[in-house]
Every structure is written in C-alpha cells, then in structure tokens.
Amino acid sequence: MKRIFLTLLLLAGAFAAGAQTRFVNKTPLEVLREAREQNKLIFMDVHATWCGPCKTMDRYVFTEKEVGDFMDSLFVCVKVDVDSRDGKQIAGEYGVSSVPTFLVLTPDMELVGRSSGARSKYDFMQDMRTIVDKYRERTEKQ
C-alpha cells in the first residue's frame, strides 16, 4: 500500500511539474547563468499582485500544459513584480508602462521583443513564436 501511494505521489508530482509554465525563483545572475548554460532566451513576466489581467494569465494560460511545454523548450522564465525595487528598475529600463508586459531577453539582457496584456493561450504562444522567429532570423543573418 505504501509503495502504491509513493508511486502515485511521484506520478502526480511529475504530472504537475510538466503541467504549467515553470517560473524560476533565482537571483538575476542565476537566471542569466541558467539561460546561457541552456542556450535559451529569458522570458520575463512583469506583473503586479493587484493586476486582474495578470491573474488571468496566471490562472488560465500559464497553467496549461501546452503552454508550459512550449515555454520550457525556449525560455528560462521569471516573474518580476513591477512594484518591487527590481521591478521598478526593469520597468524603467525596458519602458514597461502597463502590466502584464512580457519581455523576451537574451542572456546578455538585450531586448528581443515584447508583448503585453492578457490573451488566450493560442494568441500568447503565437506572440512568443513570432518574437523568437524574428530573433532567429536576425541572428542567422549575422
């Protein structure tokens, strides 16, 4: 019985881990290092705790397995509260004037693209695909 319970618990944990977008809780330097090591871009969700559209994205988009798998394949994802000290600095540096704003950055913190506002999972993933495709085209020409 104990073995069955542990197996179910492990399976549930594995399912939950792959079922949503994984936002890392690391220092900025650790995020940069992870992006470089994994050869991924950085996805930054600039949000606010009081923001309704931000909560909509958290509840209905970032929890979707399809979105989580897609995001994990391309990005190291991090959330930044616009009302925090770091969030205010990032908002100023990248011209964030509304939340949610989604920034795509290189591991050198170069802005690749941005999107903002709540949207469906399909529209959100299309925005991210467009940003990544344009970035890849630009870097292939260099």
Give the residue numbers marked as catalytic: 51, 54
Instruction: Give φ, ψ of 114 to 5 degrees.
Output: -150, 160
CB 69 within 8 A of CB 121: no
For residue 142, CA distances in Å to 41, 49, 55, 112 come to 18, 40, 39, 15
The torsion angles phi and psi of 111, rounded to 5 degrees, stand at -70, 125
The CA distances from residue 33 to 7, 48, 56, in Å, are 34, 26, 30
What six digits make up the tokens of 109?
A: 């913190």
